[in-house]
């Protein structure tokens, strides 16, 4: 059965996604149990697949018996196996959060599972058009999830996300069309060879590169294409923010890396050095601009959202540098960021439910008011800044080492400065939580909370456990770097080199 | 004229009702015809599903949106969409159980399995598309107030 795992990780959540609505006709509140069972199965499948891949190398699967490159191929190598496990584990974890936090509608769980299916499909596919299809499934599910928030601003954020996201996906599709015109194939492994024949510096190939990377950069939310992202993260329901912030941009960044290494390959950057310079420049600008915008925010969730713009700049910079150490760093930081940012969004949701606080100023004295959550936030913040031995440190360290190896000194400066910038906005939050006196009881009660209610809703142990688990993972995952290094070594050696 | 242009005002018209009554079975058949043609000629579940879904819209124009909403069981629409997804996935997974790969039609022990397999998949897709179109139509027809009130069922 394990040989079918590449297609089952996509089919299972789709089947699971169809069930909540169907069973919802007969009974109430079956959405959560169905999603839990499906995602448990998904996690088992992903872990089994990952162990197979780590032991025995990349797995390829051709559905329908249509032989690649004409048929669609699913390929799971070390890189995609890591991301598949991340998707399954994070979505299962967020489900524990959703149990109490809601939304409880059956349609929410259907969309939740569809999102997981789309993300898994983007990760497992070996075909650039198939990637577009899953990109759209992911996008549509994410738009719907963002819109499921209670406030009207969630609907506006979702509309903005829909318009910008669709433009991004269309750019990607256009680029895939150019690739087809240039080479006559859409299979990634096949493209790697035929692109070299078509000539890396031909106008068609260059245009395809620009369009595809540009389209994915919208989905990753690199500056200045990030405009959909802060609204979508901050205005959506807390559960949705956690899931989307942890996974959607992460998988888009993975797809971008997949294009760089499996389709355009290292040979493209050798032939067209300006493409690498351009990508590095965008990444560096994103790092700096994202941090500066984060410093300027007074709403904590928006600050976290802009922080993602900066952190994904780091990840893309690591992939664009392209040395082995930098790729390891980018992958570690990709996974680490997903865990840390997911945990932080989950924590802000808990804080809002418990105290009604949304803005930085309202976080004053949180260390006394909600000690466990505040401690979780503090650990995640320091992990994100890059205090050893947390995963944030390991990722950034490898990226910097890679950049030094490649001799891109200006990038090294930006990378080191980014740590200080991250500290700049997270230190403000930390200072508020632990070194500012909590407001007196009368002022908290008088503080009006937007979006109705007094902001004090039930917080379950499961919700706090998600934050604690994320904080622990953020510390522990740093130790997995040698494993990632081994995986990347295996995978990179399978990347075609010129 | 000015009365008819006001939103939400339904005018009963014998001409429209009679025409819809006569044309409806043909349109539904045409929708199925298009769906079944996905295997070997232009057509398929997406186009056919939209045509089949448009039948309900025509009924709504002829007999009033609220009347049609009451007449149509929303559970049926949801069930068709879910079963459509399960049909597609079931055909794909069934071929795995028969020892093939996902969606490997000719593993099924019937004649022209590939053709009938694709047609069944297209029928499933058609059901999904038709249900979604019908659902979207009723949601939009209900207006914004409903959407915001009913946004979260928790």
Summarize pLDDT for A133-189 with one digit per residue, the tens.
Answer: 999 999 999 999 998 877 788 889 999 999 999 999 999 999 999 999 988 889 888
Contact A155 B154 (CB under 8 A): no
d(CA B41, CA B64): 36
Q: Report the interhelical angle of A203-220 vs A152-183 (nearest 10°).
A: 160
d(CA B130, CA B34): 13
Q: Measured in whole angstroms, how far is the alpha carbon of residue A269 from the centre of its chain?
A: 25
Q: What is the pLDDT of residue B143?
A: 74
Work out the pLDDT band at A55, boundaries 50, 70, 90: confident
Work out the pLDDT band at B80, boundaries 50, 70, 90: very high
DSSP readout, A68-93? TTTS--EEE-HHHHHHHHHHHHHHHH
Work out the pLDDT band at A331, boundaries 50, 70, 90: very high
pLDDT, tens digit (0-9, with 9 covering 90-100), for A96-144: 888 888 788 888 999 999 999 999 999 999 899 999 999 999 999 999 9
Q: What is the pLDDT of residue B113?
A: 83
d(CA A483, CA A264): 26
Rg (CA), chain B: 19
What b-and-e string marks burial along A372-391, b requiring 16 or more CB atoms within 10 Å of the CB? ebbbbbbbbbbbbbbeeebb
CB A284 within 8 A of CB A414: yes
* Both tokens assigned to A107: 């349609």
Interface residue B98 vs chain A (CB under 8 A): no
| Count of CA atoms in the C-beta half-sphere (13 A) of A401 | 13
d(CA A315, CA A332): 9
Interface residue B78 vs chain A (CB under 8 A): yes
For residue A497, is pLDDT > 50?
no
**What would the mean pLDDT of A355-373 be, rounded to a whole number?**
85
Distance between B152 CA and the closest CA of chain A, angstroms? 6
Residues 6+ apart with CB under 8 A from A447: A356, A362, A439
Pick from B86, B101, B102: CB nearest A18:
B86
Q: What is the pLDDT of residue A254?
A: 94
* Both tokens assigned to A120: 């898994």
d(CA A341, CA B40): 48
Q: Which residue has the higher pLDDT, A483 or A255?
A: A255
d(CA A362, CA A377): 15
For residue B119, is pLDDT > 90?
no
Distance between A148 CA and the closest CA of chain B, angstroms? 6
pLDDT, tens digit (0-9, with 9 covering 90-100), for A456-476: 667 888 888 889 999 999 888
**What would the mean pLDDT of A281-308 be, rounded to a whole number?**
92
For residue A341, is pLDDT > 70?
yes
Q: Which residues pair with A125 in a beta bridge?
A: A74
Query: Considering the domain boundaries, does residue B6 fall inside one?
Result: no
Please list every residue in chain A whose beta carbon sits closer than 8 Å to the beta carbon of residue B89: 11, 14-15, 18
Which sign, positive or negative, has the C-alpha torsion A96, A97, A100, A101? negative
Which sign, positive or negative, has the C-alpha torsion A269, A270, A275, A276? positive
Strands, E, within A200-280: which ranges? none
Query: Considering the domain boundaries, does residue B9 fall inside one?
Result: no
Query: Considering the domain boundaries, does residue B46 fall inside one?
Result: yes
Work out the pLDDT band at A353, boundaries 50, 70, 90: confident
Lowest mean pLDDT among A272-281, A339-348, A351-360, B43-52: A351-360
The model's pTM: 0.91
For residue A200, is pLDDT > 90?
no
Pick from B79, B85, B154: CB nearest A104:
B154
pLDDT, tens digit (0-9, with 9 covering 90-100), for A56-106: 888 888 887 777 778 888 999 888 999 999 999 999 999 988 888 878 888
Work out the pLDDT band at B86, boundaries 50, 70, 90: very high
Query: Considering the domain boundaries, does residue B74 fall inside one?
Result: yes
Contact A21 B152 (CB under 8 A): no
Burial class (CB in 10 A: 0-12, 13-18, 19+), A213: buried
d(CA A155, CA B145): 13
d(CA A40, CA A35): 8
Residue-averaged pLDDT of chain A: 87
| Count of CA atoms in the C-beta half-sphere (13 A) of A203 | 0
Domain spans, chain A: 272-438+460-498
- Measured from the Cβ of residue A204, the count of other Cβ atoms closer than 10 Å reads 16
DSSP 8-state code for residue A360: G
Q: What is the pLDDT of residue B7?
A: 56
Q: What is the pLDDT of residue B149?
A: 45
Residue-averaged pLDDT of chain B: 83
Which sign, positive or negative, has the C-alpha torsion B24, B29, B35, B40? negative
A20, A64, A98, A101: best to mutate for the B interface, most B CBs within 10 A? A64
Q: What is the pLDDT of residue A429?
A: 87
d(CA A184, CA A136): 23
Query: Considering the domain boundaries, does residue B2 fall inside one?
Result: no
Interface residue B26 vs chain A (CB under 8 A): no
**What would the mean pLDDT of A485-495 be, rounded to a whole number?**
70
CB A124 within 8 A of CB A13: no
Residue reference for tokens 């088992």: A44
pLDDT, tens digit (0-9, with 9 covering 90-100), for A439-448: 765 444 444 4
Q: What is the pLDDT of residue A358?
A: 85
For residue A281, is pLDDT > 50?
yes
CB A38 within 8 A of CB A12: yes
Three-state secondary structure along A384-433?
A: HHCCCCCHHHHHHHHHHHHHHHHCCHHHHHHHHHHHHHHHHHHHHHHHHH
Interface residue B137 vs chain A (CB under 8 A): no
Q: What is the pLDDT of residue A193?
A: 85
**Percent of chain A residues past pLDDT 90, beyond the cut:** 45
Q: What is the pLDDT of residue B9?
A: 65
> What is the tally of structural domains in chain B?
1
For residue A453, is pLDDT > 70?
no
d(CA A123, CA A91): 15
Q: What is the pLDDT of residue A419?
A: 87
Q: Which residue has the higher pLDDT, A118 or A387?
A: A118
CB A313 within 8 A of CB A223: yes
Question: Most confidently modeled of A1-15, A259-273, B21-35?
Answer: B21-35
Q: Which long-range contacts (CB under 8 A, 24 or more apart) does B26-33 make?
A: B27/B51, B27/B52, B27/B54, B27/B55, B27/B58, B28/B52, B28/B55, B31/B55, B31/B126, B31/B130, B32/B126
- Measured from the Cβ of residue B135, the count of other Cβ atoms closer than 10 Å reads 16
With a threshold of 0.90, tell me whether the complex ipTM lies above it.
no
Lowest mean pLDDT among A4-18, A417-431, A483-497, B84-98: A483-497
Domain that holds residue B95: 14-147
DSSP 8-state code for residue A200: T
Distance between B30 CA and the closest CA of chain A, angstroms? 27
Nearest-Cα residue of chain B relative to residue A19: B82
Q: What is the pLDDT of residue A496?
A: 41
Work out the pLDDT band at A280, boundaries 50, 70, 90: very high
Closest by CA position to A318, among listed A293, A287, A342, A340? A287
**What would the mean pLDDT of B121-140 be, rounded to a whole number?**
91
* Both tokens assigned to A347: 């924590």
Q: What is the pLDDT of residue A343?
A: 93
pLDDT, tens digit (0-9, with 9 covering 90-100), for A231-263: 899 888 889 999 999 999 999 999 999 999 888
Q: What is the pLDDT of residue A493?
A: 55
B89, B98, B99: best to mutate for the A interface, most A CBs within 10 A? B89
* Both tokens assigned to A492: 């990179």
Which sign, positive or negative, has the C-alpha torsion B107, B108, B109, B115? negative
pLDDT, tens digit (0-9, with 9 covering 90-100), for A295-313: 888 899 999 999 999 999 9
Alpha-helix residue ranges (DSSP H) falling in B98-154: 113-142, 144-149
Q: What is the pLDDT of residue B45?
A: 86
CB A82 within 8 A of CB A54: no
């Amino acid at each position: 059965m394990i040989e079918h795992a590449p297609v089952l990780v996509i089919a299972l959540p789709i089947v699971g996604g169809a069930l909540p609505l169907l069973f919802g006709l007969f009974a109430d509140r079956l959405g959560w149990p169905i999603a839990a069972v499906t995602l448990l199965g998904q996690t088992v499948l992903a872990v089994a697949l990952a162990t197979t891949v780590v032991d025995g190398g990349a797995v390829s699967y051709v559905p329908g018996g249509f032989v690649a490159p004409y048929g669609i191929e699913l390929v799971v190598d070390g890189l995609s196996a890591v991301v598949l496990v991340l998707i399954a584990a994070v979505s299962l974890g967020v489900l524990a959060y959703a149990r109490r936090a809601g939304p409880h509608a059956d349609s929410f769980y259907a969309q939740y599972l569809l999102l997981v299916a789309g993300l898994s499909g983007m990760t497992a596919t070996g075909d650039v058009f198939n990637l577009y299809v899953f990109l759209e499934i992911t996008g549509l599910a994410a738009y719907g999830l963002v819109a499921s928030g209670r406030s009207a601003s969630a609907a506006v954020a979702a509309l903005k996300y829909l318009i910008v996201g669709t433009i991004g996906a269309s750019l990607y599709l256009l680029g895939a069309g150019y690739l087809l015109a240039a080479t006559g194939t859409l299979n990634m492994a096949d493209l790697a060879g035929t692109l070299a024949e078509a000539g890396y510096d031909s106008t068609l190939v260059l245009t395809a590169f620009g369009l595809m990377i540009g389209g994915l950069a919208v989905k990753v939310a690199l500056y200045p294409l990030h405009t959909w992202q802060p609204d979508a993260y901050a205005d959506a329901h807390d559960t949705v923010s956690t899931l989307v912030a942890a996974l959607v941009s992460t998988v888009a960044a993975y797809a971008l890396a997949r294009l760089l290494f499996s389709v355009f390959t290292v040979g493209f950057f050798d032939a067209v050095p300006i493409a690498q310079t351009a990508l590095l420049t965008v990444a560096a600008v994103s790092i700096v601009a994202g941090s500066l915008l984060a410093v300027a925010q007074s709403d904590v969730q928006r600050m976290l959202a802009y922080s993602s713009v900066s952190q994904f700049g780091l990840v893309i910079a690591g992939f664009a540098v392209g040395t082995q150490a930098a790729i390891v760093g980018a992958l570690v930081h990709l996974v680490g960021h997903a865990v840390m940012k997911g945990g932080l969004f989950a924590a802000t949701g808990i804080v809002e439910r418990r105290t009604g606080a949304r803005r930085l100023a309202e976080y004053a004295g949180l260390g006394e008011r909600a000690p466990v959550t505040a401690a979780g936030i503090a650990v995640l913040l320091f992990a994100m800044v890059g205090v050893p031995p947390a995963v944030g440190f390991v990722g950034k360290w490898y990226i910097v080492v890679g950049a030094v190896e490649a001799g891109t000194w200006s990038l090294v400066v930006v990378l080191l400065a980014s740590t200080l910038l991250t500290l700049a906005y997270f230190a403000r939050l930390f200072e508020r939580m632990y070194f500012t006196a909590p407001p007196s009881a009368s002022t908290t009660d008088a503080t009006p909370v937007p979006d109705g209610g007094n902001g004090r809703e039930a917080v379950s142990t499961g919700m706090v456990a998600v934050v604690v688990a994320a904080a622990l993972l953020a510390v522990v995952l740093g130790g997995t770097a040698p494993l990632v290094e081994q995986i990347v070594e295996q995978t990179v050696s399978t990347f075609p080199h010129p | 004229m000015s009365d008819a242009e006001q939103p939400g005002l339904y005018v009963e018209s014998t001409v429209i009702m009679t025409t819809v009554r006569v044309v409806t079975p043909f349109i539904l058949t045409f929708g199925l015809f298009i769906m079944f043609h996905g295997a070997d000629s232009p057509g398929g579940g997406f186009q056919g599903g939209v045509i089949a879904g448009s039948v309900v819209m025509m009924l709504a124009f002829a007999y009033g949106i609220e009347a049609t909403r009451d007449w149509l069981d929303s559970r049926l629409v949801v069930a068709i969409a879910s079963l459509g997804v399960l049909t597609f996935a079931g055909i794909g997974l069934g071929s795995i159980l028969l020892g093939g790969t996902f969606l490997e039609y000719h593993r099924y022990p019937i004649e022209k399995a590939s053709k009938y397999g694709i047609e069944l998949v297209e029928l499933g897709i058609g059901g999904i598309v038709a249900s979604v179109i019908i659902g979207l139509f009723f949601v939009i027809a209900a207006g914004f107030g409903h959407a915001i009130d009913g946004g979260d069922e928790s």
